Structure 1
Amino acid sequence: MMSQMPPALSKCPSCEEPLESGDRFCGACGYDLSAVPAPPHDSPTMTMNGAVPRPTSAGGPVDWPVAPEVDSSDMPAPVHVPTDIQGTDSGGSELPAEVRFDGHPEPDEYALQAPDPRTADFATPSAGTKLCVACRAGQVDRDGYCENCGHAQPRERDHMEQELGAVAAVSDRGLRHHRNEDAFAVSSTALPDGSPAVVAVVCDGVSSATRPDEASLAASRAANEALLDSLPRGAHPQQAMHDAIIAASQAVNSLAGTTPPDEHAPHQNAPACTLVGAVVTPSLLIVGWVGDSRAYWVPVDRGSPAARLTEDDSWAAQMVAAGLMSEAEAYADERAHAITGWLGADAYELEPHTASFKPDRPGVVVVCTDGLWNYAEAAEEMAEVIPPDAAVRPLHSAQVLVGHALDGGGHDNVTVAVLPFPAPPQGAGSA
C-alpha cells in the first residue's frame, strides 16, 4: 500500500520559511512536513452572527418576502452561544495528535507599552541580568523573550566576528533563516620546535536535525581544543586533524542523549553538523572535513590558479565520481546538496577526510560553509571575490566574503574563516 504524500505547502507551518516542491523537512527550522495534516473539507452549514445566506435558484437570487415587524418588548434576552470550544478544532472534533505547537508560550497578559519612566521601578538589576533591548526595563527569560513586553531579543550568534593574529572568521545568520546554525573556532599555538600553527574550524548545523545550532557549536569547540592539545605535543598536523574530527564527532554524539523528548515528534533526528578545518604552519597546509563545507586555496599571485582543497560528501559528488552525471548536471539537480556524510549519532559511518599540501608560494586558505560557496562555487569564482590583500587583512576579507553571500540573496547561514599561508611568526598580527 502506497503511503500518502504530505500535502503541498508553500510555507513552513512552524517558521513560515518558503518551501520547494518535494520538501519533507523545512530547511530553516527542520519542521517535519509529513506531520502536517491535510486541510479539512470545510462545508459550513450555518453562518455566524445570525446572518442567513441568501439562497439562489437556477435563475439567480431568490427574493424573500419581507418579514412583518415584531414587538420585541416581551422577547427573552438573547443567549450567547460560544463559537469556539476549548480543546477542539472549528469542526468540534478532537485535535489531531500529529499537530505540533512550536510557538513561544503566550503570556497571560501583554504589556501595552513600555513602562512610564516617571512611575516604573528602574532599580539597578543584579550583575549579569539582561535587560530588554526594546523597553529597557524587563528582564530577558531563558528563551530570549522580555518578561515585561514579550519582545524577542537579538541572538548573540546572529552575527559573530573574531580576529586572532593572522586568522579571522565571520559568521552571519543570513537573510532567510530565523537563527544562525553555523559555528566556528579560530586559534593559534606553537609546535614543539617553536614554529607557529594557526587553526580554523567551521561547522554547519544540519537543519533537518534536532538542535543543529548546538551540534555545530559543540563540534567546533571540541575539534579546536583537540588540535590545541595535540599539536604542541608533536603530533603530525594531519594526524592531529583526523583525531580532532573524531573528538568533534563524539561531542555531537553526546548531545543525542540529552535531547528532550517531544510527544508530538517522537522520531527526531539526532543533532548533526558538517565540519571543515585547516591548520597552517610555516611549511604545511592541512585540511580535514566531513560533509559539504569546503576549503579553498587562493594564491597571493592571482596569475597562479586557485584550487578547491576538499571534496563534498554529497549526492552530487557521488554522481560525478561514479561517472553517472557531469558536474553541471549533478549540481543542477534538486538533490545536489543532500549530504552523505556528517557528524552525529545517526551518521551511517564516520569517515574523516584529511589532506596535506606544501604550497610553493604565499596565499590564503578560505574555510567556509555552503552559505558562502553557493555564491562562489568554483575556485576561480572564489578568487575573484576575495580581496587581493587578504593575506594581510584576513578579517576584512572574511567580512567581504560574507557580504558577497548576503548580496547574492543570503539564503543560508554564512560562515567563513581566512588563514594566510605561510603562518607568520608567533605574535605577529594583521597589517
Structure 2
Amino acid sequence: MSATDTVCPACGETAGAGARFCESCGAALGVRAAGADVATSEPFEPAASEPEAVEPEMVEPEVVEPEVVEPAPVDRPAGDAEPSVGACPACGGEVAADGYCTQCGARAPVARDHAEEQPAPHVAGVTDVGMRRRRNEDAMALGVAGDVTVLVVCDGVSSAPDSDVASQAAATAARDVLVAGAAAVGPGDAGGWSRLLVESGHRADDAARDAVDDAVARQDPPSCTFVAAVVSPVLLVAGWLGDSRVYWLPDAGTPEQLTEDDSVAAELMAGGMSRASAERSPDAHAITRWLGADAVETTARTVATRPTGPGWVLACSDGLWNYASAPEVVADLLRDATGRLGPDPAALSRDLVAWAKAAGGHDNVTVALARVTAPVTGPAAPLADTHTDDPGTTPTVRRRPPGSLPEEPDPPAP
C-alpha cells in the first residue's frame, strides 16, 4: 500500500488515492464507522477575515420555468441490474442512479445479488453474492423435461472483467441444450446423456465467448467454470470443466463427490496429498480448465452412476464447498437442514447458502438441489459400455497423470 492509499474504515480494504467510495463494501471513504468521530479528507483552511457587511439590494426575482432534462444513461458494471430497492437498506437514504446511496455510500442490492429458481417442487436453487464480493459472478439454470431434471452451475472467474455476464450466458445455453435434447435420450442411456452433456458444454463455451462483444480481443477475457447434472430416477450423469461440483447424497449409503476438480488442488490430491492439505495450498483454486475466449480445451469430462435408493443431487460452486468439501461433511449439513426444515429443496438451498455465508462467505455461493425419490426394486443394473472414440463422451472420471501441468515436475522414475 502506498502512502497515498486509503483504508476503508468499514471493512479494512485498501482503496486507491482519490477514491471516494470503497470498491469492496461501498462505504464512503474519509468517514469513520458508526459511533466514531467524523473525519474528513479535506485539509482545514482558516477562515478569512470577515468582509464589511453590505445591505443587499432588494430585487424582484425573475420567474423562469425549469428546463426538463432526461437523465443520462448510467454506465453500470456489466451484468448488474438496476437497484432492486428505492431506498438504501442500510440507512434509508436515497439511492442514486449509479446504484450507491447518496447518504452513506453503500451499494444498493441488485437482482443478481440473490436469485432463486424452482421449476418444479422437487428441484430448486439459490445463488447469492456472499459477504465480501462486490457482485455475484455465479450463475445457475435449472430445468425439467418429463422425468429428467437438469442442474447447471457456472462460476465466473473473478479476475476477468464481465465474467458474471459470461457465466449467466453459459449456464442458460447449457440448460437449454439439455432440456431440448431430453426427448431424444432415454432416461437410463448413460452414453446418450454423456454425449449431450459434452455438447451442452461446447454450446456454453460459445455463449461465454459471445456474451461480450470484444471478448476475443481482451488480454484477460471473461470466463467461467461449468458443471451440469442430468438427474432421472434410474441414472445420474454429470459433466464439468473447472472446480464447480456435483455430489450424490443418498438418504442411506455412502455420499459421493461425482465430479473431480480441474484444479491445482486436484492435481496435488492425485499425487497423494490429503484433501485438507491440498485445498489449503496457495494455488488450490487455480483451475486448469474453463470456458471462455482463452480456453484451450473445452470438452467436458463426464461421469455416470445409478442410484440405489432415494437421495439428493447437489450442484454447487466453490463458495459452498470452500467450507464443506468432503462429501460426508456435505451430507451431514444437508441431513441436519432436512431435519429442521423438511424436504423442500428451496428451503434447503437457502439454508446451505446461509451456512456458507455464516462460515465466512468470502466468495459467491450457489446451491442447486434435485430430489431422487423413485424407489429402486432389486439391484441396480450395471452401466452399459458407452466408450466411444470421441473425447469426453465416456461417462467415467479420468485423472490427469502427474507431471501433466507445466508447473509440476516430472514424476520420479520407478
Same fold (TM over 0.5): yes
1:319 corresponds to which of 268, 276, 282: 268
Question: Cα deviation per residue 1:125-152 (whole Å; 9 max; x = unaligned)?
Answer: xxx99883349998974x5468999984
In 2 relative to 1, CA 132–319 (structure 1 residues): closer, same or farther, beyond 3 Å? same
Is contact 1:285-1:358 (8 Å) kept?
A: yes
Q: 5 Å matches for 1:26-425?
A: 132-134=86-88, 141=97, 143-144=98-99, 152-165=107-120, 166-190=122-146, 196-234=147-185, 236-259=192-215, 268-301=219-252, 304-323=253-272, 325-387=273-335, 389=338, 392-422=343-373
Note the residue ranges of structure 1 that are not aligned, 5 or more in a row. Answer: 1-5, 20-27, 30-46, 51-103, 106-127, 191-195, 262-266, 425-431
Offset, 1:202: 0.8
Is contact 1:131-1:140 (8 Å) kept?
A: no
Offset, 1:399: 1.3
The 3-state SS of whatever aligns with 2:343 is coil
In 2 relative to 1, CA 381–205 (structure 1 residues): closer, same or farther, beyond 3 Å? same
Q: Which moved more, 1:379-388 or 1:306-315?
A: 379-388
The 3-state SS of whatever aligns with 1:276 is strand
In 2 relative to 1, CA 334–149 (structure 1 residues): closer, same or farther, beyond 3 Å? closer
Q: Distance in 2 between matches of 1:393 and 1:131?
A: 28
Number of aligned positions between the proteins: 305
Is contact 2:150-2:228 (8 Å) kept?
A: yes
In 2 relative to 1, CA 12–344 (structure 1 residues): closer, same or farther, beyond 3 Å? farther
Question: Cα deviation per residue 1:288-307 (whole Å; 9 max; x = unaligned)?
Answer: 11100011111112xx2111
**What residue identity is the alignment partner of 2:325?**
E
In 2 relative to 1, CA 8–362 (structure 1 residues): closer, same or farther, beyond 3 Å? farther
In 2 relative to 1, CA 412–9 (structure 1 residues): closer, same or farther, beyond 3 Å? farther
Offset, 1:49: 6.9
Is contact 2:84-2:109 (8 Å) kept?
A: no
Offset, 1:180: 0.8
Q: Which moved more, 1:347-356 or 1:327-336?
A: 327-336
In 2 relative to 1, CA 393–151 (structure 1 residues): closer, same or farther, beyond 3 Å? closer
The 3-state SS of whatever aligns with 1:154 is coil
Is contact 1:296-1:309 (8 Å) kept?
A: yes
Give the TM-score normalised by the residue count of structure 2.
Answer: 0.64
After TM superposition, where is structure 1 displaced by more than 4 Å over at least 4 residues in a row? 6-13, 15-19, 47-50, 128-131, 134-141, 145-152
Give the TM-score normalised by the residue count of structure 1.
Answer: 0.62
Q: Distance in 2 between matches of 1:189 and 1:223?
A: 14
Question: Cα deviation per residue 1:375-396 (whole Å; 9 max; x = unaligned)?
Answer: 1110110011003648932112
Question: Cα deviation per residue 1:335-381 (whole Å; 9 max; x = unaligned)?
Answer: 11111111011012223111111111111011000000011110110
Aligned-pair identity in percent equals 40
